[in-house]
Structure 1
């Protein structure tokens, strides 16, 4: 963790670029919008906020990006300048940083990660006192820097290692009914530092793809939500006798799943399997899912004795809802899955993979179990690219004045999700980039086209001349 040669704390910092303060995290281009100086200032603001919350120490982990050591060092220096101790846990997947907050008793942690962004990006995912920072809490860090509203002190730095404790915790609880042979693709992300050990200890034989950590991501982008990034897994399943494929994103908090025949099981269908399993032990439990998920989920959850709750997209928002409700399980279409039952409630792609194998190891043909989950015709995420601020205005106008005459329901908790008898359409403003995210699902292609025509009429009615991606 490089920086430290006691660079004296500046009396004030240059304000960091406002655009790096996102809805759910801090993220920017290294040495351009996200500099070591900016991260040091953010660390000082974060340490100041930690002291206000009576937090005495913060665990810091980082993913495998080349900029990680320098930025983690700058972050640690800033936190310590506020009089808060730092525990450096090294290069680990983001879920292990969350785990460290529990295991080491700090209750606070920061993962220095660019997640699935290109190699020249990096960022910070932050938890204070068990609360994931998002929205105004992230903006408040910048306000502290601008106003020089900073505490001062001399925090200590120590190192700790948590990988063995994490592996022991997972493998003491998750048990496979039989050995399995699986493909794992870590996309050269930091999951490769832990995933092979975990799945071998669970009793799996592995076909390993790109498990060496390389922050340049030389083979493919570490984002399993995109089908093009799962082609290596599909080929390996075809060419070997492995029975299932798992893929992880750049920082290991999201999971991709592929059947033996090369079918991608998207996260909302994975959530069905997890929900049925969890509800068998937590009857009547509440299951939370985001607005992008399949309409088949609500009925499936009710069928298995649970209470379905649709909620906003965004890992921090879902985690907050999980804490508020005490629900045993939540999931997002993006691949974040949050187990509170038998686990801590944070998103962890490795742990989700372990729980998936625990369920599927009871079946002679895991792919048949996955293929039997309810499915529908759907589009991938489609984006309307707009200028900064315009996506929120477009969706505001849709909420105010658009009419969907054939709709059975219009849900406006996060954008506009219009339910029809045979499908749904969604338009929501992204909280991270200036786009409107669209998604359509229906019982048939014909129904999707009808729903899309309804959305085309509504969107063009409130924003004439808009370029639609369908």
Structure 2
């Protein structure tokens, strides 16, 4: 059987519906996932979907594929991806899949998958493609069953259990018409008079009529910033299209990027878990590393990608992990170790309720001068070849450290430079940071020269 190979990404399966991602492809993936669950000793699969207009029929095809192997399906309906992850714990299925396009445009959809408590990524996802091509799946005359179960009440109860709010705060939350909206309102409503909540775009609309549901892009936070100012909220938060990422803004309109949020979370976690490892991805600020060390923790670097960070979390059993895109993982006695933007918003609310001025607490977090994520387009596959050459050939005699995890990260006393190959598009991703504008300018010149020495066509965008 043939399916479009482009849908098999590093962290998930994703494509344009009816062009690269079809119902038949989802049905075939379901057959392989059901087979993998059986091989792992699991006989039940939890399945949910986000609010995209194509989700219902893709979920139907996926479930048809899973039950064709004899595995039972628990359909948990339209829910954020973290609620699907929660369902695999609460219902003890250990395996689950969310039909979601996350923060991609409306014409996209995809699958985020875990089998036997392990989120599938990289080689596992390519293996699914290979098994589809050879039709390597279980065939049975006795299909599994599909049962509809609602777990949102249990998720809300469990997520808010033990939350200690020292004082009442006014908070704005923007779901961007993604699937997280109803759950966000349910969570805040469960806190009663402990929070004055201002919801934005909490109704689910798969066309995303107001703005794109991607809080990692500052332009998508403009409505939230205005709402915080207009309502006098203490701060604001936003989730992405499927609810597994978090963005935050202050009442002055400052965007607090996730690596700075991680400073707050790390300090709070290390007070309860002295000396623990804290996992961060290669794109995060050096300032986060400094804070983790100052608070007695052990900073542990990971490759970028929610599945890869989750794998590092599983390997280290760290109580906290996070990455620059906004995936935050709490893995302590209170939560389950999966990425959850909604739950991270609750933990942030708890921390900031101890502050007389939450926005000032956020703004006072250590910061540096840095670039956004810069992208250098290449031919298909050339980005990976270039990064491999850069890792082998580039020399930085004045650097404090050279880290070859997920590309090349070069650290100096006053900043860092990162180049890595995107796992989703044919680009080289560059990120630069300096303690001062002068340090950033010097690091840019030094790193640009190193890139050009390997390939004269490589130019860092302004």
| Local SS of the residue matching 1:448 | helix
Match of 1:185 among 166, 174, 183: 174
CA drift of 1:239 comes to 1.3
Match of 1:447 among 435, 439, 460: 439
Q: Identify the residue that residue 427 of structure 1 maps to in structure 2.
A: 419
User: How far apart, in 2, do the equivalents of 1:463 and 1:293 lie?
Assistant: 26
Matching of residue 141 in structure 1 with residue 107 in structure 2: no
Match of 2:150 among 151, 158, 161: 161
- Point out the more displaced range, 368-377 or 339-348: 368-377
TM-superposition CA deviations, 1:150-179 (whole Å, max 9, x none): 102311110100100001101212221122
- Point out the more displaced range, 168-177 or 220-229: 168-177
CA drift of 1:467 comes to 4.2
Gaps of 5+ in 2: none
Give the ranges of 4+ consecutive aligned residues of structure 1 lying more than 6 Å apart after TM superposition: none
**RMSD of aligned residue pairs (Cα, Å):** 0.9
Gaps of 5+ in 1: 1-13
Match of 2:253 among 242, 259, 262: 262
Match of 1:306 among 297, 301, 320: 297
Q: Identify the residue that residue 236 of structure 1 maps to in structure 2.
A: 227
| Local SS of the residue matching 1:173 | coil
User: How far apart, in 2, do the equivalents of 1:301 and 1:29 lie?
Assistant: 40
Q: Identify the residue that residue 87 of structure 1 maps to in structure 2.
A: 74
Match of 2:49 among 43, 52, 62: 62
CA drift of 1:413 comes to 1.0
Q: Identify the residue that residue 248 of structure 1 maps to in structure 2.
A: 239
Matching of residue 21 in structure 1 with residue 12 in structure 2: no
User: How far apart, in 2, do the equivalents of 1:468 and 1:417 lie?
Assistant: 15
User: How far apart, in 1, do the equivalents of 2:20 and 2:125 lie?
Assistant: 16
TM-score (norm 2): 0.98
Match of 2:452 among 440, 460, 466: 460
User: How far apart, in 2, do the equivalents of 1:232 and 1:76 lie?
Assistant: 37
Describe how 1:39-438 pairs up with structure 2 within 5 A. Answer: 39-153=26-140, 154-202=143-191, 203-341=194-332, 342-438=334-430
User: How far apart, in 1, do the equivalents of 2:47 and 2:182 lie?
Assistant: 17
TM-superposition CA deviations, 1:109-162 (whole Å, max 9, x none): 100000000000000000101000011111111111111111023111101001
- Point out the more displaced range, 22-31 or 442-451: 442-451
Give yes or no for contact 2:452–2:459 (8 Å, CA) kept in 1: no
- Point out the more displaced range, 162-171 or 193-202: 193-202
CA drift of 1:447 comes to 1.2
Matched positions, count: 457
TM-score (norm 1): 0.96
CA drift of 1:445 comes to 1.2
